[in-house]
Amino acid sequence: MAIIYIENKPYQAPEGKNLLNACLSLGFNIPYFCWHPALGSVGACRQCAVKKYRDESDTRGQIVMSCMEQVAGGLRISIDDPEVREFRASIIEWLMANHPHDCPVCDEGGECHLQDMTVMAGHAYRRYRFKKRTYANQELGPFINHEMNRCIQCYRCVRFYRDYAGGRDLEVFSAHDHVYFGRHDHGTLESEFSGNLAEVCPTGVFTDKTLKKHYTRKWDLQSAASVCVHCGLGCNTLVAERYGSVRRILSRYNGAVNGYFLCDRGRFGYEFLSSAKRIRRAAKRNSASGAMEPADKKIILRSIKEIIAGGRVIGIGSPRASVESNFALRRLVGPDNFYSGMSAAEEELTALSIRIMKSGCASFPSLRETEKADAVFVLGEDVTNTAPMLALALRQSVKNRAAASLKKNRIPEWDNGSLCVIKDEEPGPLFVASLLPTRLDDAATRIFRGSPTQIARLGQAVAHAVNENLPAVSGLEQAVAKLAEEIARELTEASAPLVVSGAGCLSGPVMEAAANIAAALAAVNPRAGLFLALPESNSFGLGLLSGKPLDQAFQRAEKGEVRAAIILENDLYRRSEKKRVDRFREQCRHVIVLDFIDTATAAKAEIILPTAPFAEADGTLVNNEGRGQRFYRVMDPEEDCRPGWRMLAEIMEYAGIGDAGQWTTIDDIIAGLCAEEPELQGMREIAPPAEFRIYGQRVPRQPHRYSGRTAMKAHEDIHEHKPALDFDSPLTFSMEGFRSGPPPSLIPFYWSAGWNSVHALNKFQAEIGGPLRGGDPGIRMVGSSHKNFEYFKPAPVTPTPGGREYLLVPYFRIFGSEELSVLSPSIAGRIPGNLLLMNESDAKRIGAGNGSLVRVAVADAGASLAVKIDPGIPEGVAGYPAGMPGVEFMNLPAWGAITEGG
Amino acid sequence: MFSILRSMFLVFIHLFRKKVTLQYPEEKPVLPARWRGRIILTRDPDGGERCVACYLCAAACPVDCIALQAAESADGRRYPEFFRINFSRCIFCGYCEEACPTYAIQLIPDFEMSEYDRRNLVYEKEHLLVDGEGKYKGFNFYKVAGLAITGKGKGEGENEEPPVDVKSLLP
Amino acid sequence: MTVMGLVVIAGVLAAVISCAAFLVWFERRLLAFFQERYGPNRVGPFGVFQVVADIIKLFFKEDWVPPFSDRAVFVIAPVFVVASVLMSFAVISFAPGICAADLDVGLLFFLAMSSLGVYSIVLGGWASNNKYSLLGALRGAAQMITYEVFMGISLMGVVIMADSFNLKKIVEAQEHLWFCVPQFLGFAIFFIAGVAEARRIPFDLPEAESELVAGYHSEFSSMKFGMFFLGEYLGVTLISSLIVVFFFGGWLGPAFLPPIAWFLIKTFFFIIVFILMRGSLPRPRYDQLMGYGWKVLLPLALLNLFVTGAVVLVWQN
């Protein structure tokens, strides 16, 4: 910490940081555009000028850009000096000279950084009398709207898109005052992180196209803190609602998880909430006609009571349901009858990953910490498609070597201009071993492509190279052995090496090999980290509840031991082969499905009870790093919908099971959970209890300028209704309450006086870019304090079957593989189609070309797919679009036959 | 004591003054043009809806009696999908008119809108939208805004350069 | 009691109550005129039936007794105010032969009744169980005690001069000279005390709507409120009638009009003065009101009594 003087008053500021960051952290308001906490400084916009003085006697001072100034002891500056204020006002006047008169029709209006900064800098009247420059717009796909006239040329978009997110197709064109930000031609932005442009752009050039479809100003949005449900990383989100429908998702800053950004699946997947496939009414199958008919919930609860009274009831949980819902189901059916409902491979890998984390074999960095790794080895995971934000983090990690070299030359790390010059010259080591080409390949130092077995063998070889005592891998090819040596060398030399793996290739040996490497590294370097990605939002949390594998449920049904099954928010057709699930359905006399979307499983149910999805429910999700995070409902569930746990509690109360009648709030359930699972004590600490108050007040979900309260529902009823009550959290569906600085896990939206844009976040952080004031929300549920790790033995090499068999490996797509987000129209527009990826020579062999239909068959299942020839795929391997809409489940990786013709 | 009697006298002689009250239903008051009465939504000179659904009126409304939802038509114009004013709450403060950047919402000198049933005081867009420009003639928002709509491309608005040719490097 | 007596009683009752009701409209009209408005002029000719409309409205309003109130007292309080004022009217001689009860101690009877009237305020305010009502009631009680003291004393001059407590005799004693001339001070003091007694502006501190909502009758609704309302206008009529009886020769007047007409004309004059005061004077502060009563009016009233007594003694001797 250094002492700096602002307006002659001493303040403490972190040495070496840039001055703008320090001043904002201290609570001063300095306008800025090109600077962004995550993107660093380039000093381009000249807006953040302050006056710097040589010493106490200096009265003239000199104008400097605060973002390019390093904090050093004794630095004397003035923010309020009249000359520098005039300087800033004239800068913004120039920036505004061509800005169109658009605000009323601009989606950024009301949360516009440019508006805020214009007001802050004191520019109020356009003196420039000449004509305004205009640009033609581009069609940028289903996510992002382009309105180039509004541009102030801050360059943040390309700096984020190209330098930060590694995109290629957004560029700067033209020269002088004609600078244009866009693609070379109309077309969809390819990057998986394009949605962040809407938040990064300080004005309305890039805006959220899905929001535009049902546009609402920020001040009219009722918001609540939430957690993304579209992958296992658990990025924090802000969900915003108006007139009973969710309008958009914004990134909710979490200094330990997602930081400032979100992937496009997380940002635009929310549209499934208003999809036609939503279930909103309780329904029962008419025994005569066989059709589902909406029925009164009371009647349905009565029939469920009868079914439960009949005995032999099992419950099947879900990795996309909250911990509370899964626990409520476990309580309803009893631990012996509770099945986790994951596919066999996911079940095994989730359990393995929990076991590895509990063993404490290495350090387990948070998602944000992976950005700081300086050598990364990815095993078998296509992170861009399975855990997208991890890919963004890894793209940052490759810059660390360049940053270190800057440091050596005494150039501060935040000097983004310098970093970008050398980052491609000295890319950090990133090794990617994958089944199929990945989106991270362009950033990788070396790429290894092979089957899961080969990847596991490479991993074991690396582990052996790191630690001689581990068994060597026999029969390794020369090139692979050399690669293993190189990887091992880079990892051992690095100060913070990181091994990334996960359920991406559905192979246990791969994850075991990753754990071995990490453990071997950790033995010599305590900073060595292991990051294991898991497929779904609550895979980890469900794994902690120790449900039984789905296969055992099927076996019990086979023996006739299952009379009724209660399936919670789960589509079994995504978990197991169609034949087996169909058979299971036939063997169960009653199937009760609790879900919020109409899945193939729900279509065959006898009774459907609608649950509430994340925007309408409270609950806890445990992400892949074991971090329990609470999400809050942004609106009360409609019609019959209830949070899964509440619906189950109602069933229990109706059926008179246990003490469930006392489960009225989520806190009751968590108390019940903690009593049964001492390991999950952390659940209590994740979020403040419902009785939490600040000065006796709740935290409002609505901004103070929320409009239309007396007119929104006036057409239905002239009498104004009492707002919905919230018994589960300290939040309220109101604009009244305590708004300055709620605890970080409760922050419903970012706003501060004079800061209407997303940059209001500055006022909620303890230090800009650092943790939130009061600590980042979420609690790691699995500690790794004690070490009891035993190295995994290399898996035996299974012989390759002869004949014309292909190794079918799953491939996942960020847009398409996830069950819920595909129901979102914007994401549906990006689904690549159900294509079987093949090597050209393989395709030729079976006489198939691009687009021709082939038949794929493995042991238990088969499917007809169109072929896509991809030169990056090894011979004998075919990529199967696992989990894509309309694609049948197969237990992969597996050997299978591919024959021509549907 | 005297001042009391004097003020009583002064009040008393008001008895013989002319009454200021207008006998309303029989005599109609003459209202100034900017009198804040009935709220209307107007159209621009070309007959298009002026309201661009920017929500500023709703935000300015101190009694929160305006609710609307923005939408975009095929020709690129923003318009309110619905626009509702609950006149049983309206206090005719005129803040909405002041906030309106397009002269769409206007308060006009008409106050005869009483109802026996409160429900009839909820006005939807079809009750508010008129076929005229109201008090402010000649203003057309899309002529001065940078947004392109059908019939007005980029650079065709008032005081606008033609769109930049991105491929040119000429100064 | 004769039939004639009953007719008189019924006539007086009907006349007094309809007069008070009429006053409701009359006051609003007159106040409006003082303020260059029209006032209620829509119901019936000149709006005279406004009062009918008001009464109908009052009858149909919800008659709500607050659950936190002292129910019995709450119900009885408004009855007191009307009853006590109406009783006072019994002793007034409207014209020769028109008097419900020609008591020898008529004046004392009136003073006794007016003292009873304050009970309605105190009970009403107390029974409401509401801080504003209670404050109003306390103010009412203190104000009544203060002003009743010299109200009685101010009338003693009249009694001395008329040599009687009988109101009829007092009127007859003014055949040659109205007492307002020799007893001008007494008249002024009685007038002020009367305004306070009727709780009219400027001495309406017990209800003082700008401070105490509606004071002692905040919680009353429907006809219970109507009773307080009626009581107030009856009080105005009573005080005006008494001023006429004590100081302005009652029914006496030139013979071209019947005596009762003279009585009514004079009474209405004072009612108009009451209304004019309401239209023109502000309400004093409470301490000013009390100070004025005890420090100014009481000594003046005593002085008036003393001087009158002395003069009469000297005169007779």
Please determine, for residue A902, whether its predicted confidence score (pLDDT) is greater than 70: no
Cβ–Cβ under 8 Å, residues A317 and A346: no
With contact defined as beta carbons under 8 Å apart, do A622 and A540 qualify?
yes
Give the minimum alpha-carbon distance from C139 to chain B in angstroms, rounded to a whole number.
24
Q: Which of A107-121, A338-352, A371-385, B156-170 has the lowest mean pLDDT?
A: B156-170
- Distance (Å, rounded) from C-alpha C92 to C-alpha C254? 21
- Choose among C37, C38, C280: nearest Cβ to B11: C280
List the single residue in B7, B10, B14 with the smallest CB-CB distance to C35.
B14
* A711 in contact with chain B, both atoms CB, cutoff 8 A: yes
* CA dihedral for C64, C69, C72, C78, sign (positive or negative): negative
**d(C-alpha A606, C-alpha A594), whole Å:** 11
Chains C and A physically touch (3 or more Cβ atom pairs below 8 Å): no
Compute the average pLDDT of residues A881-891.
Answer: 89
3-state secondary structure at position A413: coil
ipTM of the complex: 0.89
Rg for chain A, CA atoms, rounded: 28
Q: Residues of B with CB below 8 A from C280's CB?
A: 7-8, 10-12
Q: Inform me whether the C-beta atom of residue A721 falls under 8 Å from chain B C-beta atoms.
A: no
pLDDT at A27: 92
Q: Do A712 and B67 touch (CB under 8 A)?
A: yes
Contact B148 A137 (CB under 8 A): yes
Domains within chain A, CATH numbers bracketed: 2-96 (3.10.20.740), 362-535 (3.40.228.10), 806-900 (2.40.40.20)
List pLDDT tens digits, range C6-33.
888 888 888 888 888 888 888 888 888 8
Write out residues 79-98 of B within 8 Å (CB-CB) of C.
none
Q: What is the pLDDT of residue A660?
A: 58
Q: Would you mind telling me the total number of residues written for chain B in this entry? A: 171
Question: Which chains neighbour B (Cβ–Cβ under 8 Å, 3 or more pairs)?
Answer: A, C
Interval A264-322: pLDDT, tens: 999 999 999 999 999 999 999 988 888 889 999 899 999 999 999 888 899 999 999 99
Of B82, C39, B62, B5, the C-alpha closest to A714 is B82
pLDDT at residue C121 greater than cutoff 90: no
Residues of chain B numbered 42-61 and touching chain A (CB < 8 Å): 52-56, 58-59, 61
Instruction: Note whether C38 contacts B: Cβ–Cβ < 8 A.
Output: yes
* DSSP symbols for C62-113: -----TTS-HHHHHHHHHHHHHHHHHHHTT--SBTTB-S---TTHHHHHHHH
User: Average pLDDT for residues A764-768, to the nearest whole number?
Assistant: 91
Contacts of C288 in chain B (CB under 8 A): none
How many CB atoms lie under 10 A from the CB of residue A135? 27
Instruction: For chain C, give the percent of residues with pLDDT over 90.
Output: 0
Stretch among A435-439, A788-792, C298-302 having the lowest mean pLDDT = A788-792
Tell which phi-psi region holds residue A61, choosing left (phi > 0), alpha (psi between -120 and 50) or beta: left
**Residue C98: is its pLDDT beyond 80?**
no
The pLDDT of A483-500, averaged and rounded, is 94
Q: Is residue A784 predicted with pLDDT exceeding 70? A: no
Cα–Cα distance between C48 and B67 in angstroms, integer? 46
C313 has pLDDT over 90: no
- First-to-last CA distance in chain C? 42
Chains near A (3 or more Cβ pairs under 8 Å): B
The DSSP string of A474-538 is: TT--HHHHHHHHHHHHHHHHSSSEEEEEEGGG--HHHHHHHHHHHHHHHHH-TT-EEEEE-SSTT
User: What is the C-alpha R_g of chain C?
Assistant: 20
Spatial separation of the C-alpha atoms in residues A268 and A249, rounded to whole Å? 7
B3 — contact with chain C (CB < 8 Å)?
no
CB A161 within 8 A of CB A172: no
Rank A526-535, A836-845, C77-86 by mean pLDDT and report only the highest.
A526-535
pLDDT of residue C7: 84
Backbone angles phi, psi at A281, to 5 degrees: -120, 145
Residue type, C316: Q
- Is the pLDDT at B64 greater than 90? The verdict is yes
For residues A180 and A232, the answer to whether their CB atoms sit within 8 Å is: no
Any chains having at least 3 CB pairs less than 8 A from chain C are: B
What is d(CA C73, CA C67) in angstroms, rounded to the nearest whole number?
13
Please tell me the distance in Å from C277's CA to the nearest CA on chain B: 6
Place of tokens 């003239």: A60
pLDDT given at position C195: 87
Flag whether pLDDT at A785 surpasses 70. Answer: no
On the question of pLDDT at A804 being above 70, the answer is no
State the average pLDDT over residues C202-208: 79
Question: How far, in Å, CA of C36 to CA of C272, rounded?
Answer: 16
Give the domain B31-134 fold.
Alpha-Beta Plaits (3.30.70)
Contact criterion met (CB < 8 Å) for A707 and B119: no
Go through chain C and tell me how many residues it has: 317
Among candidates C35, C37, C280 on the partner chain, residue whose Cβ is nearest the Cβ of B8: C280
Q: What percent of chain C has pLDDT over 70?
A: 100
A32-36, A400-404, A444-448, C207-211: range with lowest mean pLDDT = C207-211
Q: Do B58 and A707 touch (CB under 8 A)?
A: yes
Q: In this complex, is the C-beta atom of A132 within 8 Å of any C-beta atom belonging to chain B?
A: yes
**Phi and psi angles of residue C18, each rounded to the nearest 5 degrees, phi first:** -70, -30
DSSP assignment, residue A109?
T
Vertex A816: Cα angle to A812 and A819 (nearest 5): 100
The sign of the CA dihedral A456, A457, A462, A468 is positive
Give the residue from chain B lying closest to A128, CA to CA: B159
Question: Which residues between 266 and 305 in chain C have a beta carbon less than 8 angstroms from any beta carbon of chain B?
Answer: 276-277, 279-281
CB C65 within 8 A of CB C122: no
Q: Which pair of structure tokens corresponds to residue B144?
A: 């001065």
User: Domain spans of chain B?
Assistant: 31-134
CB contact B69 to A (< 8 Å) = yes
The SS3 assignment for A416 reads helix
**Would you call B10 and C280 a contact, using CB atoms and an 8 Å cutoff?**
yes
CA A27/CA C177 separation, integer angstroms: 88
pLDDT of residue A87: 94
Cβ atoms A508, A349 nearer than 8 A: yes
Picking from B85, B159, B164 by the largest number of A CB atoms within 10 A of its own CB, the best residue to mutate is: B164
Answer whether residue A748 shows pLDDT above 90: yes
**Alpha carbon B171 to chain centroid distance?**
45
Structure confidence at residue C227 (pLDDT) = 86
Contact list, C30 vs chain B (CB under 8 Å) = 15
B99–chain A Cβ distance below 8 A for any pair: no
Contact C155, C147 (CB under 8 A): no
Q: How many B-C residue pairs are in contact by the CB < 8 A criterion? A: 34
**Is residue B8 within 8 angstroms of chain C, CB to CB?**
yes
What confidence tier does A484 reach under pLDDT thresholds 50, 70, 90? very high
Q: What is the pLDDT averaged over residues A214-242?
A: 94
Contact A711 B121 (CB under 8 A): no
